[in-house]
Structure 1
Amino acid sequence: MASGKRKGLSFDDKKTRLLELFNETCDFYTLKELEKIAPKLKGIITQSVKDVLQSLVDDDLVNSDKCGVQTIYWCLPSEAVAKRQRRLDALQQQLAEKRQKLTALQRQLVQVQAGREDSVERTAVLERLAACEAAWRERQRTLESYLECDPDVLAQRETETKTLIEQANRWTDNLYVIRSYVQRNLGVDLDLFDQQFELKPALQYLE
């Protein structure tokens, strides 16, 4: 019976195997050298070596440095252990800080919830509060409907209306000046000019 097709390595498996290669040989490599030996020694296909290697560098598990035009990669076992220990210490510190924050939040939650337990008295108070808020909103709507008759509001609108009328009449003056100019200097017939630019309604002064 034919054996099934062998399953390929996962990305994490490739990282583990490539890191093993560094630790076992304690040597320095270029990318091309790794692409040549990794398939033979660790079963990592050549096309994957570059991405796997970069991932190890990004995780600070493998060192890299420029040497002329080439980049050299290495990882010494003792250095790898030290890096893992520093990483572990950092994670443990973060965990301790998160636990402290969680404990503080839990205490705050208990304090906030104190006095909010369900009871007949609390339910009655909440109902009265809801009724007061509804009444307040209704008063606000009533007040807003009366603003149309507020003397200050009416005075402000009257002033704004007067200003707008003055501005409109100023534009009407400007139109008369333009009509006079084109008639006197260009000999344009005013009726034709007014018709062309639809000026008849615009030549009325507002009061």
Structure 2
Amino acid sequence: MVKGLSFEEKRKRLLDCFHNSKSVFNIKEVEKMGSQKGIVINTVKDVLQSLLDDDLVETERVGTSNYYWSFPGKVFKKEARIVLEEKIKNLETKISELKKEYEIYRMNDPETLQEKGRQAKVAQDAANRWTDNIFCLRKWAKEKFNVEEQSINTHFNIPADLDYIE
């Protein structure tokens, strides 16, 4: 018993016919070419449509006829593009992983720690400046309006334990 060709084998054989001939064919010529390569003539159109769907064979309508062709460079470009897209995807994943790793190391970097210390000192100085301003305004209001300090604190929601940050 003779085993028939798989669909992928039929696709490969028909595509090879196009690539080897480097020519343009109408549907009758494609069917003849496929049958010469062992593809049952009734399935050639299905195989051809599959190749068209995967953009491995091109078609153009001229007048009342459709013409089909595929040149070896097109498949090579398509396979090269797929390989390059996969490389890009892998590299983007690697970049993402390296950025995460970098953030871990950056948090422990002496320069980063110094910068955070400097920023903390700036924030502390700013907080003490505002505290000093509150003390000055409270003193001024106490002297100007002869009001108790506790009354000012209550009215302006100033905590009783407000003090400079050390």
TM-score (norm 1): 0.43
- CA shift, 1:84, in A, is 2.0
Pairing partner for 1:60 from 49, 55, 64: 55
Could you tell me how far 1:86 is from its partner in structure 2? 1.8
Quickly say closer, same or farther: Cα 1:34–1:94, change in 2 above 3 A.
same
Change (3 A) 1:85 1:30: same
2:37 pairs with 1:47: no
SS state at 1:52 partner: helix
1:31 paired with 2:27, answer yes
In the alignment, residue 92 of structure 1 is paired with which amino acid? K
Matched, 1:6 2:12: no
Alpha carbons of 1:92 and 1:26: their partners in 2 closer, same or farther (altered >3 Å)?
A: same
Q: Which has the larger radius of gyration?
A: 1
Residue segments in structure 2 that go unaligned for 5+ positions in a row: 102-166
| Conserved? CA contact 2:23–2:69, under 8 Å | yes
- Structure 1, unmatched stretches of 5+, are 108-207
- Percentage identity across paired residues of the two chains: 37
CA contact (8 A) 2:31 2:41 kept: yes
Q: Give the corresponding residue for 2:79.
A: 84
Within-5 A mapping of 1:145-164: none
Matched pairs, number: 100
Question: CA offset at residue 29 of structure 1?
Answer: 1.0
Q: 1:100 to 1:81 in 2, by over 3 A?
A: same
Structure 1 residue 43: deviation in Å? 0.5
| Superposition RMSD in Å | 2.3
User: Structure 2 vs 1, CA of residues 99 and 54 (structure 1 numbering), >3 Å: closer, same or farther?
Assistant: farther
- 1:71–1:12: structure 2 CA closer, same or farther, 3 Å change rule? same
Residue 32 of structure 1 aligns to a residue whose secondary structure is: helix
Per-residue CA deviation, residues 34-68 of structure 1 (Å, 9 max, x unaligned), is 1122111x111111111111111121211111111
SS in 2 for 1:43: coil
Shift of 1:96: 3.8
Q: Determine the structure 2 residue equivalent to 1:125.
A: none
Query: Residue 69 of structure 1 aligns with which residue?
Result: 64
SS in 2 for 1:73: strand
TM-score of the superposed pair, with normalisation by structure 2: 0.52
CA-to-aligned-CA distance 1:135-169 (integer Å, 9 cap, x gap): xxxxxxxxxxxxxxxxxxxxxxxxxxxxxxxxxxx
Which of residues 13, 19, 22 in structure 1 aligns to 2:18? 22
Residues 96/78 of structure 1: CA separation in 2 closer, same or farther (3 Å cut): same
Distance 1:64 1:91, change over 3 A: farther
* Aligned-residue offset at 1:90: 2.2
1:129-168 counterparts in 2 under 5 A? Answer: none
Q: For 1:8, what is the secondary structure of its paired residue?
A: coil
